[in-house]
Structure 1
Amino acid sequence: MFFPRQTLLQTSFLSSTRRLALAVLLSSSLPATALLAPASAVAQQRQAITLEDVWQKGTFAARSVQGFNWMQDGRYYSALVGGEVVQHEVTTGAAVKTLVPAADLKPVGQDQAIRVDGYDFNADEQKLLLTTGSEPIYRRSSKANFFVYDRGTRKLVALSPGGKQSYATFSPDGQRVAFVRDNNLYITDLATMQERAVTTDGVFNKIINGSADWVYEEEFGFAQGFFWSPDSRQVAYYTFDESQVPEYNMQVWGKLYPTDYRFKYPKAGEKNSVVSISVYDVAAGRATKMDVGPEADQYIPRVMWTATPNLLSIQRLNRLQNKLEILHADAASGKSKVVLTDTNKAYVEVNDDLRYLAGGKQFLFTSEKDGYQHLYLHDMNGKQVRQLTKGPWEISQINGFDAKAGVVYFTSTEASALQRHLYRVNLNGKNKTRISEAGNGTDVVNMSPDTRYFLNYRSSAGVPAVVSLREGSGKLVKVLEDNAKLRQTLGQYDLGKFEFFTFKTSEGLDLNGWMIKPANFDASKKYPVLMYCYGGPSFGSGSTQTVLDNAGGGSSFGRYMWYQMLAQKGYIIVSVEGRGSSGRGAAFRKATYANLGKYETIDQGEGAKYLGTLPYVDKARIGMWGWSFGGYLTALCMTKEADLFKMGMSVAPVTNWRYYDTVYTERYLKTPQENPQGYDDNSPVQHAAKLKGKFLLVHGTGDDNVHFQNSVDFVDALVKENKDFQTLYYPNRNHGISGGNTSLHLYRQMTNFVLANL
């Protein structure tokens, strides 16, 4: 499920920490930052924020550390600088060597140099895979032209002449590269540059080899579906038979006759792909199918090699997603056995925290079987050795493991549900220590493979991110970026005060929120309030919280500065975190199970009621807006809680969960066949007659995720009920509704709607 504020924890478990994909994660996932100007500066400066500043000019662009890749020798990292791959000293940041100079970027047999999009090393770092001409497909999938660069010969050679490839990956010994093209898996021998097809039956919209289908990519968080064995002798890979999955059809606008784009999309209750796992023996040229059980209607959300030769780990999840099993499969015979089973009355979280320890005797796994996501050590038969962490807080992510010291590094909410900090604990469950420096805020960590160093991205509410390089102990080595320029820029603007609050609902539940007040706030006046919501549950260790102690308060940089712009115009901006969100344990998050939308709506309504009791809030002028699940929740609040909200803006909403995909929807609602009331009772379509306030509905016609069909259905219901509303659609735009002037245009329309109706 898409939520506008993506998080670093939501990335694919297949990505190496050394991949250049980190550059994308840092730019799109870290909270872009903002700073509240000191009171003296506010008094002197009254510069107004404009939409162009936020969405066009980059006036408030935060700086980060881009393209950072740890190298095998922990003393160095590499980065893409001016189109060249440059090696840097970790402790000083100084460039010490150009690994791929611009002069070498002209491929053998070609007259023109390539423009490098990204790169990846082989194990001894003497060869690199360079990408150019990258094309996105869906959220995580892409294809590009890959080239092999040999640092010894300084030659650059095209990986394959057969068209663009996806997910090209060196074998651990650096002798081969595996990749996907046109739904088939291939291996190229780098000594001869001869290409071999591992599979030949791949067909668009029928059979996929080595890649994920749409719903796995979106909801299980990965696109690459093949994995080299540690000894380079085998490749494990997914095969998706999606021939029975219904197709969704999107019209593509622009030509005299619009064209159709049809792709396999399993809506709730419909057929999924039948998934199998095979292992290809490179020397023998033979594939063996792994035994994943007789049930075809199930999920295989994770596959990885263990530390034991020839042993593959496969995670199996039933369709209702309340039973997760870890299977160990013999790669030669395909025989498997279940070694661990994790169950839950609602659903089991899938994440990337399964780690097999060197020596092949133990593995680490996280589970929320005690009510909170915690870390457990198991032997290879699945027997629990010990629980390593415990308490009323959650582990968000395992960041690293020091095998020599027997220490696990992890990020958790121990300090606060609104924060994330780095900790370490020994495998004996003792000496748990906070590594992150003291203080509030949120730390996003990128740790080197040997855990000697980590990059730390620290921000807190209203304070820009500081990027620092630190030793594994937490000791500061060097500040790489302090966003001093952004601080100076923001000091010129009239920014409102950002503050957290907590209130108690009528059910006795404590809910967290934040508030941005106008800089010239006067407690004797009455202010209109615009509430922002998301409200949906998150996948795995990701977070959908909108109330966080980071630079944007859980929102993106642009969004945060737009809120500041509205505050300059006399609005108070608020976000309230209701049940269903992350950070507070399983009971809080899973309270919405089988009734998606019910309690989320109640909690946003409680938030509006609480705000209405504040002496400086005009309770007759409370509005709401949200995107994706937040758009859905806004539509529900505008109908089921119509008396509380004067206006609402719903962007790219689900309006009927029957229209959304199997994995996400059934995880939280069961299937429509088993729980029809859960689908219908909280569908905005069913409550269209209750709409009272001013309402704006926005959607992109090219949304492959939350289909335009949702808004069409809601419009039809509103028209039948003779309700007045406004709509805004963006041709061919996807779920993010961006590109060119799109964001500027969208936020201008929403700003005008707020000014006119709140």
Structure 2
Amino acid sequence: MIRPTFFLLALGALLISSLSAYTQQQKPLASYYPDSREVSESYQRAARLDSSLKKAVFKSYVVPNWQLTHNAFWYQNKLKNGHYEYIFIDAAKGEKRPAFDHRKLARALAEASGIEHDAAKLQLNELVFSKDGKHLRIKEADNWFECDLSSWACKKVENQDYSRYEPARPLQRRRSRWMHPKTDSVSPDKKWSAFVKDGNIWIKPLDGKEVQFTEDGTGARPYGEFFWSPDSKTLVFYRIDPKEEKEVYYVSTSEPGTTRGVLKSQKYAQPGDEFTSYEMYAGRIEDKKVIKVNAEKIDFFGVPELHWRKGNSRYFTYEKVDRGHQRFRVVEVDAQTGNTRNIIDEKTPAFIYEQRIYTRYLPDTHEIVWITEKDGWRHIYLVDELTGKEKRQVTKGNWVVRDIDSVDSKKREIWFKASGMNEGEDPYFIHYYRIGFDGKNLVSLTPDKGNHSVTFSPDRTYYLDTYSQVNVPPVTELRRTADGRRIMEIERTDISALQATGVKLPEVFVAKGRDGKTDIWGVICRPSNMDLQKSYPVIENIYAGPQDSFVPKSFLPASEMQSMAELGFIVVQIDGMGTANRSKAFHDICWQNLADAGFPDRILWMQAMAKKYPQADISRVGVYGTSAGGQNSLGALLFHPEFYKAAVSACGCHDNRVDKQWWNEQWMGYPVGKHYEAQSNVTNASKLQGNLLLIVGEADTNVPPESTYRVVDALIKANKDFDLLTVPGLGHSDGGPYGRRKKRDFFVRHLLKASPPERNSREVVGK
């Protein structure tokens, strides 16, 4: 058996040897400018690859179907020629075998159902094995069958009461801060109900006369949003100052069955818009006294979830994110007095990434597990809820906690995902770990090099670890949770059909960023028929949205980038500074600075690539992107025309004042200042140099279409040349199949100086 390490080393050596020829050029290379025949062939080749690459990789990912009665699972492999196989794994014994005899089962199912079955193409929805392995219940389409695996007799049975375990589901789900907390008008002891009448709070015993709690509420400023304490002695509610959310509009021009455009609208908050605000009150049921809580108005996110102290319903905590994202607090309230104190109070001169704030409350021990970047990296802390003091920093180092899988308060362990911990490895690779509350006994559950995805058995005794790299096929292993020990290899991806296509797998490339020290990571895709004696235009696939990192890390046998490369381009993707999943300083580059988009790092990266590989012609650089990437791609021409020469920008959020409030204020801050206007593509449209194609869907409900139309208006007023594609009825998209084809044609025209295939003739060649 070929060991995983040997396989990876051999593949790496082959890749290095094949690329070494790129660095051995001694003279300037001829620029690649294809003739009409080459263009036609390249489109046909790209079309074939678009179709074939999706069918050229097998056994790449195992979806385990765990049997709930014992530690075993089955999974399905899709094979060549549309065939399938079913595999059974006994985790406790470390055994792998066919789940059943395909021919015998196909024959038995045909006899039971009256429908012929192809043994090689069985499509089974569910398999439930008896614990002794002698019987099998099968769901095929909407019917259940029970089969005896010794006599191979099957019979149709009634629908089974079957509970399916979802291995990819998080063990502990987290509530989004955008979700309204659960409420109930009836008190937990079922003795009282609360309601609003004429803008005021009333309570009523279920067997008595209603009592008015407040008197100054009005229709314009009512009370409402009530929440009971667990002991039913306190009712928390709010004085509300409502603000109407404004609308955005678009015209649907091509509605079927109409002769007129249809005006459509939606509620849509933009940066700077007012929000409904809430003042917190606590009403004591015993003496009917109402106390105004000594806290600031909540004017962002809406009412919070309340966390009542276990064993003492006098106290509760809630979370407050200040508008502008520069302060986060966990506030404790004394419901008897209305006094408050801050348990957690984090402030930053840049931003706190709200969507990645993590808090988990442990009521039995009065502790809070909290994730913060306050030391410059995203790490786990343990906070004493009673004293408000930090008990300890659980994780530390120049690496990033990516997410928490679960918190085991009994064993006092935290299970989490992280990246950047392993020296000499891509810092974005995700690995899985377990650690004690005391910061000791760190266990690495995924030691192999690569980007990992883990799913656990129902009792978490075992887990499946699938890992790969962008140019290294996935391997799936079964491991034991207690110590991470490898039990067996389950599957190794079959890429023989992929290799037969001649396609080149992406190359990972690293260069220093603007500070001369920080590694910037990206990938390179090349044409499969690349001529080493010629240089090719470079196209960057850009998305610099600060909410994440975007360069693929798992195996990438097929992508739009590779398909575009087949037309005669070197296509790259890069994560520059300002994107997430690195240090806080790396991320903070984006603060009030979205126009930066990591361009200084991207340009240096491509210059380093061209120095190593002279086949990369960085005098002909194009760029394309969608949404925030649409903003970035146009920004490339406006702010860096000396480097970027052509751009395709789809449904871009070109002006951060026009786009959605929650996303833009997170990075650009609040209040809306002059920096919003200064960085707008609309404001800077007159600076356009190079070739530009704008794409927009008229029915975009994510980024309002006028974000693009305002750019169009500014470009026309500046007398600039550009192309515009508006797609009727299309939402937030890169333009769909037609838009993607127009994007390819655009780059062929402007970077290769060639004519795409003529599609309005009877014979259409390629896409």
Superposition TM-score tier, normalisation by shorter sequence? 0.5 to 0.7
CA shift for structure 1 position 530: 0.8
**Shift of residue 507, structure 1, vs aligned partner:** 4.4
Find out whether 1:375 has 2:384 as its counterpart.
Answer: no
Q: Which residue number corresponds to residue 460 of structure 1?
A: 469
Choose the corresponding residue for 1:571, options 566, 569, 572: 569
Pairing 1:33-182 to 2, within 5 Å after superposition: 48-50=45-47, 53=50, 64=61, 75=71, 95-96=128-129, 102=142
CA offsets, 1:314-342, max 9 Å, x none?
22111111110113457999986532111
Distance change >3 Å, CA 458–CA 491, structure 1 → 2: same
Mapped contact 2:514–2:600 kept (Cα < 8 A):
no
The one of 269, 272, 287 equivalent to 2:272 is 269
Structure 1's 654 and 621: CA in aligned 2 closer, same or farther, altered over 3 A? same
Alignment gaps of 5+ in structure 1: 1-34, 81-86, 105-112, 122-138, 143-165, 174-205, 211-225, 539-543
Aligned equivalent of 2:310: 308
Structure 1 residues 57, 595: closer, same or farther in 2, change over 3 A? closer
Which runs of structure 2 are paired with 1:387-402 in the superposition (5 Å)? 387-402=393-408
Is 1:604 the counterpart of 2:597? The answer is no
Do the aligned partners of 1:401 and 1:451 also contact (CA within 8 Å) in 2? no
Work out whether 1:663 is the aligned partner of 2:665.
no
CA contact (8 A) 1:301 1:317 kept: no
- The correspondence for 1:409, drawn from 379, 401, 415, is 415
Q: Find the aligned partners of 1:402 and 1:748 in 2 and give their Cα distance.
A: 51
Match of 2:549 among 525, 531, 545: 545
Question: For 1:410 and 1:328, how far apart are their aligned partners in 2?
Answer: 27
Question: Structure 2 matches for 1:224-239, cutoff 5 A?
Answer: none
Alignment match of 1:475 (pick from 458, 482, 485):
485
Q: Work out whether 1:431 is the aligned partner of 2:441.
A: yes
Name the amino acid aligned to 1:751: R
Q: Which residue is 1:260 aligned to? A: 263
For the 8 Å contact 2:67–2:129, the answer to whether it is kept is no
Q: Which amino acid aligns with 1:711?
A: T
Distance 1:367 1:304 in 2: 21
Cα gap change, 1:247 to 1:332, in 2 (>3 Å): farther
Aligned equivalents of 1:332, 1:67: Cα separation in 2: 52
**1:685 alignment counterpart:** 682
Other-structure match for 1:353: 358
In the superposition, relative to structure 1, how do residues 406 and 549 fare at CA in structure 2: closer, same or farther (>3 Å)?
Answer: same
Tell me the CA shift for residue 389 of structure 1. 1.1
State the Cα deviation string for residues 431-475 of structure 1 (Å, max 9, x = none).
223211322x21233456865344434231123444555432333
Whether the 8 Å contact between 1:503 and 1:610 is mirrored in structure 2 is yes
Give the counterpart letter for 1:398 in structure 2.
I
- Percent of pairs identical after alignment? 24
Q: State the TM-score, normalizing by the size of structure 1.
A: 0.66
Q: Secondary structure at the match of 1:526?
A: strand
Deviations 1:235-266 (A, max 9, x none): 99999986422112233341333333332211
573, 579, 582: which is aligned to 1:581? 579
What is the Cα deviation at residue 348 of structure 1? 1.3
> Contact (CA 8 Å) 1:49, 1:493: kept in 2 or not?
no
Q: Post-superposition shift, 1:624?
A: 0.9
Offset of residue 56 of structure 1: 12
> Which 5+ residue runs of structure 2 have no aligned equivalent?
1-10, 19-41, 77-87, 100-126, 131-136, 145-157, 167-175, 189-220, 752-767
**1:420 matches 2:418:** no
Q: Which amino acid aligns with 1:346?
A: A
CA offsets per residue over residues 173-223 of structure 1, 9 Å max, x none?
Answer: 9xxxxxxxxxxxxxxxxxxxxxxxxxxxxxxxx99x99xxxxxxxxxxxxx
Work out which of the residue numbers 441, 446, 454 in structure 2 matches 1:445: 454
Task: Pick from 301, 321, 328 the counterpart of residue 324 of structure 1.
Answer: 328
Q: By how many angstroms is 1:366 displaced? A: 0.8
The answer for the alignment partner of 2:504 in structure 1 is: 496
Letter in 2 for 1:271: E
- Are 1:329 and 1:335, in contact at CA under 8 Å, matched by a contact in 2? yes
Match in the other structure for 2:747? 754
Q: Say if 1:382 and 1:370 are closer, same or farther in 2 by CA, change over 3 A.
A: same
* 2:761 corresponding residue in structure 1: none
Give the structure 2 partner of residue 23 of structure 1.
none
- Three-state SS of the structure 1 residue aligned to 2:618 is strand
Measure, in 1, the Cα distance between the counterparts of 2:232 and 2:463. 29
Deviation at 1:397, TM superposition (A): 0.6
Partner Cα separation in structure 2 for residue 357 and residue 719 of structure 1: 59
Give the 3 Å change call, closer, same or farther, for CA 616–430 of structure 1 in structure 2.
same
Looking at structure 1, the residues matched to 62 and 742 of structure 2 have their Cα atoms a distance apart, in angstroms, of: 33
Residues 537 and 582 in structure 1, CA contact (< 8 A), matched pair in contact too? yes
Contact 1:399–1:446, Cα closer than 8 Å, also in 2: no
> Do residues 295 (structure 1) and 305 (structure 2) align?
no
Inter-CA distance 433–587: structure 2 relative to 1 (3 Å threshold): same
Please give the secondary structure, in 2, of the residue aligned with 1:587.
helix
The match for 1:248 is: 248
Q: Structure 2 CA distance, aligned partners of 1:290 and 1:100? A: 59
Deviation at 1:395, TM superposition (A): 0.6
Using the TM superposition, give the Cα deviation of residue 569 of structure 1 relative to its aligned residue in structure 2, in angstroms. Answer: 3.0
Candidates 705, 710, 734, aligned match of 1:708: 705
Separation (CA, whole Å) in 1 of partners of 2:230 and 2:143: 34
| Deviation for aligned residue 1:659 | 0.6
SS at structure 1 position matched to 2:404: strand
- Taking the aligned partners of 2:335 and 2:478, their CA distance within structure 1 comes to 40
What's the secondary structure of 1:371's corresponding residue?
Answer: coil
Q: Cα RMSD between the aligned structures?
A: 5.1
Distance (Å, rounded) in 2 between the aligned partners of 1:317 and 1:38: 52
Letter in 2 for 1:602: P
- d(CA) in 2 for partners of 1:448 and 1:308? 32
| Higher alpha-carbon Rg | 2
- TM-score normalised by structure 2 residue count: 0.65
What is the Cα deviation at residue 344 of structure 1?
A: 1.1
SS of equivalent to 1:370: coil
User: Which one is further off, 288-297 or 338-347?
Assistant: 288-297
Q: How does 1:517-536 map to 2 (within 5 A)?
A: 517-536=526-545
| Matched residue count | 591
Alpha-carbon separation, structure 1, partners of 2:492 and 2:699: 36
Distance 1:682 1:602, change over 3 A: farther
**Does the 8 Å CA contact 1:318/1:324 hold for their aligned counterparts?**
yes
Q: Is the 8 A contact 2:46 2:567 kept in 1?
A: no
Which digits, 9 at most, give the CA deviation of each residue in 1:268-293, with x for residues without a partner? 11112436899999xx9x9x999693
User: Equivalents in 2 of 1:445, 1:235: separation in Å?
Assistant: 43
C-alpha distance in structure 2 between counterparts of 1:49 and 1:519, whole Å = 10
The one-letter amino acid of 2:709's match is V
Distance 2:606 2:269 in 1: 36
Secondary structure at the aligned position of 1:316 is classed as strand
